[in-house]
Amino acid sequence: MRRASDIAAAAARHLEAAQCHACGHLFLPFGPVCPRCWSDRLDKRALTGLGEVATFTVYRQQYHPDFPAPYVIALVALPEGPRMISSIVDCPPEAVRIGMAVRVRFEARGERWLPVFVPEATAACPATATDNRGSKQ
Ligand SMILES: [Zn+2]
């Protein structure tokens, strides 16, 4: 069961990207210099947290105890430009589609908060409320 303090901490988090002051390039993950112009004049910019599944794969073998199979790893295209690798959760793997609108959510995994994505429209993912591991009832 998730504690109220964890829920509040997750809600307070938001997705950020690095933005280059020299050329304006927005990128993820953060690095010491801009990958486009090599400037080190970088800042953080808050993103909307919205995205679209650009492509994905379904893992059917468990590699880590925090990621029970099956689970979906996706390349998520953010409307601000960057793309990021993340998980699609609260949706059976067979319901995930390229082009699906998703929204970021932060989940506690040990000491870290991981950005994962959930379908933006529950209609796109009818089993959202009861099944997040893809098993059929
Ligand atoms: Zn730059």
* Strand spans (E) along 2-70: 16-20, 26-27, 42-46, 50-59
Q: How far is the CA of 28 from the centre of ligand 1 (A)?
A: 13
Stated pTM of the model: 0.81
pLDDT of residue 137: 39
Q: How far is the CA of 123 from the centre of ligand 1 (A)?
A: 40
Q: How far is the CA of 105 from the centre of ligand 1 (A)?
A: 28
SS3 (DSSP) at 93: helix
pLDDT of residue 8: 64
User: Would you call 59 exposed, middle or buried from its count of C-beta atoms within 10 A (0-12, 13-18, 19+)?
Assistant: middle
**Is residue 69 scored above 90 in pLDDT?**
yes
**Is residue 2 scored above 60 in pLDDT?**
no
Q: How far is the CA of 42 from the centre of ligand 1 (A)?
A: 8
